[in-house]
Amino acid sequence: MKHIINISSIFLLLIFLVSCQNKTTQQKKETDSKAQNETHSDTHEEDNEKEETSNLVTLQQKQLEVMDIELGTTKKVNLGKTLKVNGQLELPPQKRASISAIVGGRVESVAVIEGDYVKKGQIIARLNNPEFITIQSEYLTAKSNYSFLEKDYLRKKELLKDGITSQKSFQQAEAAYKDGKSALNAAKSMLQLIGINISVLDKGQIISSIPVVSPIKGYVQNIAINIGKFVAPEQEMFEIVDNEHLHIGLKVFEKDIDKAKVGQKITFALTTRPDKIYEAEIFALGSAFDMDTRAVKVHAKIIGTHEGLLTGMFVEARITTSNKEVNALPEGAFVTEKGLDYIFIQKEKDKDNITLEKVQINRGISDLGFSEVVFINEIPKNIVVVTKGAYYVNAELNKGEFEDHDH
Most confident segment among 9-13, 51-55, 58-62, 214-218:
214-218
Beta bridge partners of 87: 250, 315
> Does the pLDDT value for residue 402 go beyond 70?
no
pLDDT tens string 36-79: 544 444 444 444 444 455 789 989 888 888 888 999 998 888 77
CB 160 within 8 A of CB 170: yes
> Does the pLDDT value for residue 31 go beyond 70?
no
Averaged pLDDT for residues 323-349: 88
State residue 14's pLDDT score. Answer: 47
From CA 63, how far away is CA 107, in angstroms rounded?
A: 50
State residue 35's pLDDT score. Answer: 46
Give the largest Cα separation in the chain, rounded: 197
Kindly report the CATH number that applies to the domain delimited by 103-230: 1.10.287.470
| Amino acid, res. 246 | L
State residue 106's pLDDT score. Answer: 95
> Does the pLDDT value for residue 32 go beyond 60?
no
pLDDT tens string 101-115: 888 999 999 999 999
> Does the pLDDT value for residue 94 go beyond 70?
yes
State residue 90's pLDDT score. Answer: 93
Domain at 82-91+246-322, CATH from 3.30.200.210, 3.30.230.70, 2.40.30.170, 3.60.110.10: 2.40.30.170
State residue 292's pLDDT score. Answer: 83
Q: What sign results for the dihedral spanned by CA atoms 253, 259, 261, 265?
A: negative
From CA 238, how far away is CA 224, in angstroms rounded?
A: 6
Q: Which of 349, 406, 341 is nearest to 374 (CA)?
A: 341
Secondary element (H or E) of residue 177:
helix 167-194
Task: State what percent of residues in the chain have pLDDT above 90.
Answer: 38
State residue 404's pLDDT score. Answer: 54
State residue 396's pLDDT score. Answer: 86
Where are the domains positioned within the chain? 1-50, 54-77+326-406, 82-91+246-322, 103-230
State residue 89's pLDDT score. Answer: 94
Most confident segment among 112-116, 272-276, 328-332, 366-370:
112-116
State residue 280's pLDDT score. Answer: 93
From CA 270, how far away is CA 310, in angstroms rounded?
A: 10
State residue 369's pLDDT score. Answer: 80
Residue 135 CB partners (closer than 8 Å, separation 6+):
103, 187, 190, 191, 194, 196
- pTM exceeds 0.85: no
Domain 54-77+326-406 has CATH 1.10.357.10: no
Residue-wise DSSP of 138-174: HHHHHHHHHHHHHHHHHHHHHHHHTT-S-HHHHHHHH
- Kindly report the average pLDDT of the chain as a whole number: 83
* Residue 339 vs residue 5, higher pLDDT: 339
From CA 13, how far away is CA 17, in angstroms rounded?
A: 6
The radius of gyration computed from the CA coordinates of the chain, to the nearest angstrom, equals: 44
From CA 386, how far away is CA 332, in angstroms rounded?
A: 8
State residue 400's pLDDT score. Answer: 64
